[in-house]
Amino acid sequence: MKAVVYKRPFTVAVEDVEKPRIHHPNDVIVKVTSTAICGSDLHMYEGRTTAEPGTVFGHENMGIIEETGQGVTLLKEGDRVVMPFNVACGFCANCVDGFTAFCQTVNPGFAGGAYGGVAMGPWPGGQAEYLRVPYADFNCLKLPPGNEHEIDFTLLADIFPTGYHGCELAEVRPGDSVAVYGGGPVGLMAAYSALLRGAKKVFVVDRVTERLDKAREIGAVPIDFSEGDAVEQIKEQTGGVGTDKGVDAVGYQARGRETDREQPATVLNSLVDTVRATGALGVPGLYVPTDPGGPDEQAKHGMLLVSIGKLFEKGLRLGTGQCSVKRYNRLLRDLIIEGRAKPGFVVSHELPLDQAPSAYEKFDQRIEGCTTVVLHP
């Protein structure tokens, strides 16, 4: 079958690889219909990880079940399903508590597993014609048959729940004002989720015009940080107080305003300044324990200069971590089915699998208004 394979930094290729097969009675094989390229794929694409050449990418997958293992109970051939990017067992202590991103079974020695990711366990990705899903009864979310809402449902694998998770970590309530740093797919989904949760005003900080335009389209207030300090711009629009809540949807690849160099702590520090005392911060943006491409010795070891003193002084709460997609995907699916959520606005390109190499290149450079790319194998 055809799959998107990592070759070396800044190069992926569509190659023939072995078709996955059932290894365990609770596996299914899914014929992938849609699979998105994610900001997290770019960390590997850019060679910032130890991803081995030959890795099949893709953790945001949906499709139709082609084959079921003998132990599968809830699913049958022909079911339309979407899989959380997390691979999880469903029965370890963390899964039982709802923290499937920290499953202790699927990737021993490391917190949690995922498809197509370096250090995330032995689970090849779904930017391919077929995907093997382990613990399938637990990991597949059933969707209505047909092809309605295909793009909206694809986003249930990661970015819609992850954006929502940012709001959950930030404790966004009706009537809150919220600052979302980052207008990429995750930031736009966080802003959209904040509005779904009844926020009164949502700011989205970025400097990419198309992304700020999308933020405006959904009813958020765009803040262009290339035009002036984002904290000051937001304070001006909140009576000098700042927002009630804040979401970091940028992560360690944050750029400085003046230098355009990578400044991994800049967004965390801006959030500490932006959010009013006793507010809360949600950090779905990724920070890593080691980053060979980090701008200084400390950053290479995941250590950043964050104004923890001010965080403490303001009594801010801070929530972090990978999204346990299963906590949210069923409820968000039902919002889509009922027409109450249409996250698909974030998708800028739909392409056949063959075009993955150029799609990666454009997405990496954020050219041609690339926000989210969905591949159809």
Cβ at position 99, least distance to ligand NAD in Å: 12
What is the closest distance, in whole angstroms, from the C-beta atom of residue 87 to Zn ion in the complex? 9
State which residue has the least CB distance to Zn ion: 38
Residues 377 and 45: their CA atoms lie apart, in Å, by 20
CA 50 to chain centre: 20
Q: Residue 348 Cβ, how far from ligand NAD at the closest point, in Å? A: 11
CA distance 22 to 30: 11
Interface residues toward Zn ion, by CB under 5 A: 38, 40, 88-89, 92, 95, 103, 105, 158
In the complex, the smallest distance separating the C-beta of residue 22 from ligand NAD, rounded to whole angstroms, is 28
Q: What is the DSSP letter of 73?
A: -
State which residue, 26 or 177, has the beta carbon closest to ligand NAD.
177
**Minimum CB separation from ligand NAD for residue 285, in Å?**
4
Choose the one of Zn ion, ligand NAD, none that binds residue 322, judging by a C-beta under 5 to 8 angstroms depending on kind: ligand NAD
* Residue bearing tokens 């729940």: 161
**Residue placing its CB nearer to ligand NAD in the complex, 74 or 331:** 331
CB-wise, 68 or 372, nearer to ligand NAD?
372
Report the residue number, 187 or 279, with the smaller CB distance to ligand NAD: 187
Contacts of residue 84, defined as CB under 8 A and 6 or more positions apart, other chains included, come to 100, 139, 141, 157, 158, 161, 324, 325, 326, 329
Instruction: Count how many residues are written for the chain.
Output: 377
Amino acid identity of residue 191, one-letter, is: A
Strands 317-320 and 347-352: unpaired
Q: Which does 335 bind (CB under 5 to 8 A by kind): ligand NAD, Zn ion, none?
A: none
In the complex with Zn ion, the residue whose CB is nearer, 105 or 307, is 105
Those residues whose C-beta lies under 8 Å from the C-beta of residue 104, and which sit 6 or more positions away, are 89, 92, 93, 94, 95
Q: 72 vs 82, which CB is nearer to ligand NAD?
A: 82
Residues in contact with 219: Cβ distance below 8 Å, sequence separation at least 6, in sequence order? 195, 202
For ligand NAD, the closer CB: 26 or 107 = 107
| Closest separation in Å from C-beta 67 to ligand NAD | 29
- CA–CA distance, 363 with 239 (Å, rounded to integer): 37
95 binds, among Zn ion, ligand NAD, none (CB under 5 to 8 A by kind): Zn ion
Q: Which does 89 bind (CB under 5 to 8 A by kind): Zn ion, ligand NAD, none?
A: Zn ion
Cβ within 8 Å of residue 326, ≥6 positions away: 84, 86, 88, 98, 100, 138, 141
Binding region for ligand NAD (CB under 6 A): 38-40, 158, 162, 181-187, 205-208, 211, 225, 249-251, 254-255, 266-267, 284-286, 322-323
Q: Of Zn ion, ligand NAD, none, which one sits near residue 187, judging by CB under 5 to 8 A according to partner kind? A: ligand NAD
- CB of residue 72 vs ligand NAD: minimum separation in angstroms? 27
Q: Which partner, ligand NAD, Zn ion, none, binds residue 105 by CB below 5 to 8 Å per kind?
A: Zn ion
Residue 133 interacting entry, from Zn ion, ligand NAD, none, C-beta within 5 to 8 Å by type: none
| Tokens standing for residue 237 | 């629009």
| DSSP-derived secondary structure for 9-41 | TTEEEEEE-PPP---STT-EEEEEEEEEE-HHH
**Which secondary structure element, helix H or strand E, spans residue 309, and what is its range?**
helix 308-313
- Residue 92: name its binding partner from ligand NAD, Zn ion, none (Cβ under 5 to 8 Å by kind): Zn ion
CB 204 within 8 A of CB 187: yes
Between 123 and 225, CB nearer to Zn ion = 123
Closest contact distance (angstroms) between CB of 264 and ligand NAD is: 10
